[in-house]
Chains A and B, each alone.
Chain A
Amino acid sequence: MAKIRSRLFIIGGLVLLSAWALIPTDTTQRVRDATTGRMKDTTIRRVPINLGLDLQGGIHLALEVDQSKGPVPDPAEAIHRAERVVRTRIDEFGTTEPVVQVVGSDRLIVELAGEKDPARAKGIIQRTAFLEFRITDMKNLFRDALPEIDKTLRRAGVKTPGQAGAAANVTQLFGADTGKGKAKNKNEKSKAAAKDTTELNAPGPLASLLYQGQLPGEFLVPEEQVPVAESLLARPEVQRLIPRGIELKWGTEVASRAARTYRALYAVEDRPIITGEELEKAQAQRDPMTNQSVVNFTLSRRGGRIFERETGRHVQDYMAIILDGRVQGQPPVIKSQIGQHGQIELGAKPLQDAQDLALVLRAGALPAPLTIVEERTIGPSLGKDSINDGIRAGVVGVALVIVIMVGYYRLSGVLAVSALGLYVLFTLAGLAWFGFTLTLPGLAGLVLSVGIAVDANVLIFERIREELQHGKLVRTAVDEGFKHAMSAIIDSNVSTVLTAFILYLVGTGPVQGFAITLIIGITASMVTAVYVVRTFYMIWLARRPDMVTLSV
């Protein structure tokens, strides 16, 4: 009896421990607010099992240093720098539980579980690549080339989308902008720009998509027309007509005016005046005197000399800050010659914007661009479907196993099935306890291992039947059954664990989840099938010491 009590004590302890590991806990997550687009903290209550990307939706990216545009001296070192940069950036941008790790010598893995917006996340990561400062198209070379481009496009049979009445909107657009308390000369400028726009607006398939922005070389494109404009600009005949020395770069900012959203397109010089390599520091600040957000930056000594020369030539010009080919924010104007230390003023914009820009600059100090060598994106709805399907398959599978076991082994089958309940509990607790991730193949592994888990019981029960057949007493038959089945159980489980372990070593995320679930499942099944079922038998036999026939 004492033996049974100590066994029950151990089992009870394991159950409590497992239950404790699985109690839903409050976790704080940073999620993006759907309306404002900003990150905010929310507390949710959930079972502490990590779900893989394939179950909760998310993004998996593998990045390498892009060597296609020339060799990078030390890719391994570069990828480590990239890792640090991407990590800082992601943490600051506040994605939920990101994984950033270097795999092998030159690969960076970024996993963003639960990320719902792949474009945004990819944008954040890919923006780490390359920073440069370029002067915008001050001489309006691109704008002047537009009629010629449109003529070519029309000749190629591209129709002009109907844009009647749009011009009025545009005038409104800048009216609203200047209403926000900008300087008077800006107001005049934008009026001029609006006039430009109306002129531009009348003709041409491309020009009708572009609205002149507030500064030379800036154009605004309605968000829904961006793909059209992109495909037009990508045409070779258009590419040929873009003036020499000018390149087109899309902006990152989306401006919404009069119920429409616009994306900025910039015509910039094709030669950077300076690149991120020369950048050493960038810091966001809120000027306490003027209550303005600023970013202070420091260049290397060499960079300072170059910058001094270049900015001297370009006073009053606009300088686009380009990271990964995207213009960051609105290009600031160069007020005077700048040397090694400079300041970018963001005016009344919140400090958050300045911090973002400083982050962009710091990340841009990375000299080599990254290329995505692998990308997997799983939508959250697909993940939810997968969980539901997996659970449904699991329930049906387990129900079948229960029917087979109870139907065939009767009361002993009931013991095995109740042990199976503990088995599922232990396996899930094991996943939670060690912080492993449950993936879709892992879910399959869990269902599969329920089928395999009863194998140990089947071995034992068959052995007991044989022993009973040989005329042994019930008590002896049970003892012998467990004893003789042991070597087969251990052998078979070790071989499965070994292959699963290899799978874990070689596999990637989802497959590793499968291997882990299998290993934990098999370990748990050893405990439940052997130890727990044995204890059940001991209790049963202790209650009925005179039992002659065993329901097995």
Chain B
Amino acid sequence: MIRLFANANYDFIKWRRWAYGLTAALIVPGFALFLVHGLNYSIEFTGGTLIQVQTTTPVGTGKIRTALDAAGIRDAEIQQFGGANEYVVRARIGAGGVTAEGTTQATAAAVDSALAHGLGAAQYRIVRTEAVGPKVGRELQGKAFLAIFFSFIVTLVYLWYRFEWRFGLAAVLATLHDILTTIAFIRYLNLEVSLVVVGAVLTMIGYSLNDTIIIFDRVRENLRKFRRQNLYEILNLSINETLPRSVLTHGTTMATTLALVLLAGEVLRPFALVMTFAIFTGTFSSIYIAAPILMYIEKRWPGEDARGARAFRPAGAVAPEPRAAPVPPAPSRPQPTR
């Protein structure tokens, strides 16, 4: 029988600083880019017009550009979308031309007639049109923000109810980390942020919490079971014990998201990419962010489970920090105290 990471005994917490560095290296430049350039919001959010065209032959974006220019439609983004003969034309509100309520409609019609002139009516087919007025766009922005905000609140309340607040806070901070890395990821790949991508981020919140909860559940259990171990060891033990599960679950979930990335078509691709990354970052943060943060919280505001949290190292190890409190040596192998 195949057993991955059975009885693993890695000192995950020891590597926390490396993990912080890694995640900071991902987040900081991504966030700098985000602050400078913002995100590539879909027209759902910005308002504007999107037209997906299927041409009979691969005409190239240049020819479509020429057709639009001839009709005086400038500042529209033209992008190949999926197959060689599919293109998406995007005209965002504020990016020239389109300004007021209702004119997004006119833009759609104008693009259609421009293509009819430039390519010939039989040469193309409009397969998708989206025209979103500025008001609807603004509303949706607010809604997306509210959704992320409320899912935070609700999960916080749930965690509060299920765990004590220290665990809950650690889980929420880990999730916050996931949101930051995901934003950085979206920025790096310049993925289009649509409502579906926001949906992916929300699902990611649930999924990442799920992961943290599995580990914390085990931590809670082990804290009752192994009275002699300190928090550092319990965390490491719990992460190691749940490691096969993490690997398996992420394997299966990632298999499905990768299938979506590769096969489910262009519309779903940003969603699938974000989900794939989310699974990765969710696992990472559950191990390297949530657990060390729990240690920090227990150190700062010690609770009943704060055994040895101050030491920040396994019991019995040589204290590298001078102010570490003395801890009694622990048995080499955890012993159930039942």
Query: What residues of chain A have their CB less than 8 Å away from a CB belonging to chain B?
Result: 54, 62, 64, 66, 68, 118, 227, 231, 371-379, 381-382, 385-386, 389-390, 392-394, 396-398, 400-401, 404-405, 407-408, 410, 440-441, 443-444, 447-448, 450-452, 454-455, 458-459, 462, 465-466, 484, 487-488, 491-500, 502-503, 505-508, 510-511, 514-515, 518, 551-552
Contact = CB atoms under 8 A, between A and B. Distances in A.
Contacts of A552: 1
A497 B264 CA distance: 24
A506 B132 contact: no
B260 A448 contact: yes
B102 A499 contact: no
Query: Residue among B104, B133, B198, B275 with the most chain A CB within 10 A?
Result: B133
B135 interface: yes
Main secondary structure of the interface of A (DSSP, over half): helix
Interface string B268-284: 10011001000000000
Contacts of A491: 162, 210, 213-214, 217
Given A455-B253, A503-B202, 13 more contacts: A374-B131, A377-B126, A390-B268, A393-B262, A447-B260, A454-B252, A492-B211, A496-B210, A500-B202, A502-B154, A506-B146, A507-B195, A511-B198
Given A462-B244, A462-B245, A448 B253 contact: yes
Contact of B245 (A68, A398, A450, A459): A459
Contacts of B218: 488
B172 to A, nearest CB: 11
B129 A375 contact: yes
Contact of B207 (A54, A231, A401, A452): A452
A378 B127 contact: yes
B239 to A, nearest CB: 13
B116 interface: yes
B272 to A, nearest CB: 7
A374 B102 contact: no
Contact of A444 (B52, B162, B268): B268
16 contacts: A374-B130, A375-B105, A376-B131, A378-B127, A393-B262, A407-B2, A444-B271, A455-B249, A466-B241, A491-B217, A496-B207, A498-B151, A499-B202, A506-B144, A507-B143, A511-B198
B302 interface: no
B205 interface: yes
B108 A514 contact: no
Contact of A511 (B196, B245, B263): B196
Contact of B128 (A378, A392, A498): A378
Contact of B102 (A66, A378, A410): A66
B259 interface: yes
A400 B213 contact: no
B243 to A, nearest CB: 9
B150 A382 contact: no
B195 A511 contact: yes
Nearest to A394: B259
A371 B105 CA distance: 10
Contacts of B245: 458-459, 462
Given A389-B264, A444-B271, A508-B195, A401 B252 contact: yes
A401 B1 contact: no
B113 interface: yes
Contact of A440 (B127, B133, B150, B267): B267
Interface in B178-235: 195-196, 198-199, 202-203, 205-207, 209-211, 213-214, 217-218, 221
B112 to A, nearest CB: 9
Nearest to A60: B130
Contacts of A514: 196, 199, 203
A503 B147 contact: yes
A382 B125 CA distance: 11
B256 interface: yes
B254 interface: yes
